[in-house]
Amino acid sequence: MIPVTVIGGYLGAGKTTLINGLLRGTHGRRLAVLVNDFGAIDIDARLLADHDGDTISLANGCVCCTIADALGDALNKVSAMRPAPDHIVIEASGVANPAKIAMYGQGWPGLRLDGIIVMADAESVRARSEDKFVGGTVRQQLTAADLLVLNKMDLLTRDQCDLVRQWLETQAPDGRIATACHGDLPASVLLGQIAAQDRRYQAQGDGMARHDTYRAVPFRTARPLDRIRLGLQIASWPAGILRAKGLVHIFDDPGYAYILQLVGARYTLEKGPAWGKERPVTEIVVIAAAADLNPGFLESSLLSACL
Amino acid sequence: MMQITVYTARAVRTMEPALPLAQAVAVCDGRIIEVGSLETMQPWLQAHPHTIDKRFRDHVIMPGFIDPHLHPSMAALLLPMHFTTAMEWRLPWQDVPATRGHNEFLDRLKQIDLSMADAEEPLFAWGHHPIWHGEVDRQTLNGISATRPIIVWHRGFHTLVVNDATLDWMGLDEAEADRHPQVNAAEGRFYETGLSLAFRYFNPYTLAPKRFTGGLERLRQVVHHGGHTTIGDMAAGMFDLDMEWNALVKVLEQDDTPFRVQMIPPGTPLGGELKDTAKLIERTVGLRQRNTHRLRFYDHVKLFADGGFYAGLMQLGLPGAIDGSIGEWMTPPETFVAVARAYWNEGFKIHVHCSGDLGVELALDTLEKLQWERPRFDHRFTIEHFGVSTPEQVRRMAALGALASVNIYYVYELGDAYWKHKLGYERASQMSRLGTLARHNVPTALHTDFTMAPALPLNSAWVAANRISENGLVMGPEECLTLDQAMRAITIDAAYVLGLEHEIGTIRAGKKADFTVLEQDPYEVGAENLREIPIWGTVFEGQPFPIKTER
């Protein structure tokens, strides 16, 4: 099934910039990106392979499609593409409840929801959340997030950055938070694509380092994990742990590999292929904000989920 | 050579304060030549050939009724379906009785199933409401038919329930469907966002050109049956402009269509962000090149503030909803202001869909801002629907020159439900606050937003003047209109909201000869009996169109 990521957040939070970055990115994945309109999509003419009205095809295999008030139609269209896209990204409108949009990703034939990413403009999110007209909408968006991206941190002083981040943690106590400038986040954080050789991710920025840098931490063990303990450990992880993906050797069903996918606060553990002749082994890669990660924390957390 | 026709009548209720009551109206080439009596109009009659038509001698002639806000395309989707509603609906081809109670609902479905000749034809039933009909699920519907697809659609359009035969017809894999958080395959239930999954299979059937034009043909009868001679399509092109336009022209631009349609397009794509206002305006203006005699785009445009009233998605100010739910914005407020400014500065008349008081607040804050930036007189900025509002907002509307076009049927159908489940009694009883609008002299039209209310202007006027809910309670008597105010709201004040008061809405020399011909005089039967008045038919641009029922 094709994973679906919903990008939400109020107008001006940086959704389009983020999406432009994904379309240009060298992540090697064929993305199908559904946007509200092409107006702000900025595509280098050299990358453009084809443009047929409501769909733009890029030379790197990505496509961009307008939703035009009919998300169902757009999803039908991209999920019928051959070869199928590796990942679908839906840009929610600035006033949409991303949780509602996510239901499409969750329930459309052939698709599964990867996660809800909600962007917040660090400079204005707090004022917007108290606005007479959109306060309720903005607060609803923040609580819907699996992963919050606090964007435009370069416009704030360090003290302001700390304050807005602390405030955001109170607004979305379950959401994990990543910080960014210019919507620039590694595709690994956004889409969960983790290559074993990438051990360190450095976000591009202005060098002021008010945004996070990210690390990929591998974990490996032959000991079986306990389902409930694993859930409890994950729930205790700090806000800077953003993603995890891998195969799990689970105690109560030792014949099958289980696939762990974590996006912010959301994780799923689904039954995968049988181990067969292979020796069962748990292999997980976790992506976290470097600043939020004590060395050894993840290792000991995951080991304590083992039997 | 002028050829005059004089219609005499028991009474001509002109709705003109200068000459409210007359006995005859002279018509030539679709226009009114003079209103008065046969004696007073002698100079015209002596100067030109004429005939005296006495067919209305026992009838009452009124200006043709106007509904400034309904949705032909939505109606075209719905009217081919079977009505199984908790409220009675008078349709040209049948009187749909109120269906109340679980067993009565199932009996009605059975009866429809038996009446359908083709055993394969899907049965679409609209109007289910759990408050009235109890819950139905897949098993319940399997009991109606194991072979015919049966699709039961909620009155407020949020939920569909289907039987096994429908799932087979759709070819939808049950396990696959069940993954959707808003689909319950075991119960055969699709709701909210899950509806899109169902529509993916139904649309090719329900939007097929033949079915759609068949639905529009029914709409044509409905509009005539209600006594309208002018309607506003207040979001023209809501599904697919070209498809709808072609169907509208084909079905409605006919010599025997006794009404005109003012086409008011949506000013910005729903949910869209504004990028290029010049292009947007150019597109909206360009629509006028399509105009035909009856179907006309002009300098009116529709914008959207908050979510729908029946769907419960209105934005409420304090103290909010009983269930704590927050509504939706159909347009982001910043975008709303920017789009409104673009049309305002081009001189457009702007109609704003506003369901809750916070939606009204956004529209009025915007109007105030635009007035400050670039003052306009007689701008006709109109608040549409007006479900929940505050008295202070009405006063502000008066100060800013805004108009109101109100769905009064909310009080009838939702008064009780929103009292108990959404707003509490105080605010539910003051929904659609017409009395306050009248006290502040805000020009006010009534509309039905058909299919949100029956397209029957006399029924709307009846609710406006009595505020009786479906269970017989009087809701907010201080917000009633008088009989005369209610009749104005379906004639001249509705014409004013559409910017056509110089052409229609009253009976006076020079206006279009559009009349609604009644069997009784509203001013004699009184407010409490308005909805019972039989309609003989209409006169559209001078030509009589009796209502022929198809029964």
Extents of the domains making up chain B: 72-206, 298-481
Separation of first and last alpha carbons in chain A:
31
Q: Give me the residue from A40, A67, A94 closest to B332, CB to CB.
A: A94
Q: What is the pTM of this model?
A: 0.89
Q: Give me the residue from B192, B269, B332 closest to A95, CB to CB.
A: B332
pLDDT in tens, chain B (551 residues): 689 999 999 999 999 999 999 999 999 999 999 999 999 999 999 999 999 999 999 999 999 999 999 999 999 999 999 999 999 899 999 999 999 999 999 999 999 999 999 988 999 999 999 888 999 999 999 999 999 999 999 987 888 999 999 999 998 888 888 888 889 989 999 987 788 888 888 888 988 899 999 999 999 999 999 999 999 999 998 778 898 999 999 999 999 999 999 999 999 754 455 667 888 899 999 999 999 999 999 999 999 999 999 888 899 999 999 999 888 998 889 989 999 999 999 999 999 999 999 999 999 999 999 999 999 999 999 999 999 999 999 999 999 999 999 999 999 999 998 999 999 999 999 999 999 999 999 999 999 999 899 999 999 999 999 999 998 999 999 999 999 999 999 999 999 999 999 999 999 999 999 999 999 999 999 999 999 999 999 999 999 999 986 55
pLDDT at A39: 67
Mutate which: A38, A54, A101, A103, vs B, most B CBs within 10 A:
A103
Chain B residues with CB-CB distance to A103 below 8 A: 180-182, 192-194
- Amino acid identity of residue B525, one-letter, is V
d(CA B502, CA B44): 22
pLDDT at A107: 81
Q: How many CB pairs under 8 A join A and B?
A: 91
Q: Which residues contact B200 (CB under 8 A, 6 or more apart)?
A: A72, A76
Instruction: Please name the fold of domain A214-303.
Output: Hypothetical Protein Yjia; Chain: A;domain 2 (3.30.1220)
Cβ A95–B271 below 8 Å, yes or no?
yes
Mean pLDDT, range A198-203, rounded to an integer: 36
| Residues paired with residue B11 on neighbouring β-strands, in sequence order | B60
Q: Give me the residue from B182, B183, B333 closest to A134, CB to CB.
A: B333
pLDDT at A281: 93
Cβ A36–B273 below 8 Å, yes or no?
yes
A183 vs B123 pLDDT, higher one: B123
Given CB atoms, is B390 within the 8 Å cutoff of chain A?
A: no
* pLDDT higher than 60, residue A203: no
For domain A2-201, the CATH architecture is: 3-Layer(aba) Sandwich (3.40)
Burial B193-215 (b: 16+ CB within 10 A, else e): bbbbbbbbebbeebbeeeebbeb
CA A45, A51, A52 angle in degrees (round to 5)? Answer: 170
* pLDDT higher than 50, residue A199: no
How does strand B159-162 pair with strand B123-128? unpaired
Q: Helices B457-466 and B409-418 meet at what angle, rounded to 10? A: 50
Given CB atoms, is A69 within the 8 Å cutoff of chain B?
A: yes
For domain B72-206, the CATH architecture is: Roll (3.10)
The candidate with the shortest Cα–Cα distance to B498, out of B341, B380, B329, is B380
B187 vs A289 pLDDT, higher one: B187
**Sheet with B300-304, side-by-side order of all strands:** B300-304, B349-354, B382-385, B403-407, B444-447
d(CA B327, CA B187): 27
d(CA A210, CA A92): 27
For chain A, where do the domains classified as CATH 3.30.1220.10 start and end? Answer: 214-303
Q: Give me the residue from B173, B181, B271 closest to A107, CB to CB.
A: B181
Going by CATH, does the domain composed of B298-481 fall within 3.40.50.11310?
no
Q: Average the pLDDT over each of A80-84, A194-198, B386-390, B437-441 and give the range with the smallest value.
A: A194-198
CB B49 within 8 A of CB B63: no
For chain A, where do the domains classified as CATH 3.40.50.300 start and end? Answer: 2-201
The answer to whether domain B72-206 and domain B298-481 are alike in fold is no
pLDDT at B173: 83
Count Cβ atoms below 10 Å from residue A290 Cβ, excluding itself.
14
Given CB atoms, is A40 within the 8 Å cutoff of chain B?
A: yes
* pLDDT higher than 50, residue A196: no
Residue A15 C-alpha, separation from nearest chain B C-alpha, in angstroms: 12
pLDDT at B385: 98
The answer, yes or no, to whether ipTM is higher than 0.90 is no
Residue A175 C-alpha, separation from nearest chain B C-alpha, in angstroms: 21
Mean pLDDT, range A69-74, rounded to an integer: 84
